[in-house]
Structure 1
Amino acid sequence: MASFNPKKVASDIADGLICLNPTVIKRYTVDELKALLGHLTIVQREIRAMIIPLENQMEMNAKNRQLQRIHQTIAMINAHAKKYRLHL
């Protein structure tokens, strides 16, 4: 991909603006997938570090949805790497 910004893609995945699927993942090179995985873990760590009061249920749900999206994407990338024997 010509203009690939892994930090932006990772934050967009967390926000739900980008939804990766196996077909889209095939377009990425091994180096791009490595960079994306690295930035997904960074964004995941940043989201986990956010402190939200227990009374604010809407923000807590939003945080959990972001973490779920990131986790699903990481699992999908790892499954793709295993299927095609890529070393990430």
Structure 2
Amino acid sequence: MRILNDQNQEVIHLSRPLRCSSWWCPCYLQNVVVEAPPGMIVGYVCQFWSLCKPGLRIKNATEEIVLSIKGSGCQVNICGDINFDVSIVLSP
């Protein structure tokens, strides 16, 4: 995915290789590479496996986890909000 500014120049590039979308295959979870400007990796968005609660880990360019995002146990909510817990991960 390309994100462009007002001058139609690409400022952020998101790439996600084709992966399995089933939670039965925890070895092929979703992983997005974030480049800004294009060609310079600034971070990653990585799905982590959980039986009940979906979640993502936001990593910086050196692949250190900086944020953790966890969903609720119930992901079906018609015409309503689904809350996610976002927590900062502090380095030791």
Length-normalised TM-score, structure 1: 0.23
Normalized per residue, which structure has more strand? 2
Higher relative contact order (CA 8 A, sep 6+): 1
Normalized per residue, which structure has more helix? 1
Length-normalised TM-score, structure 2: 0.23
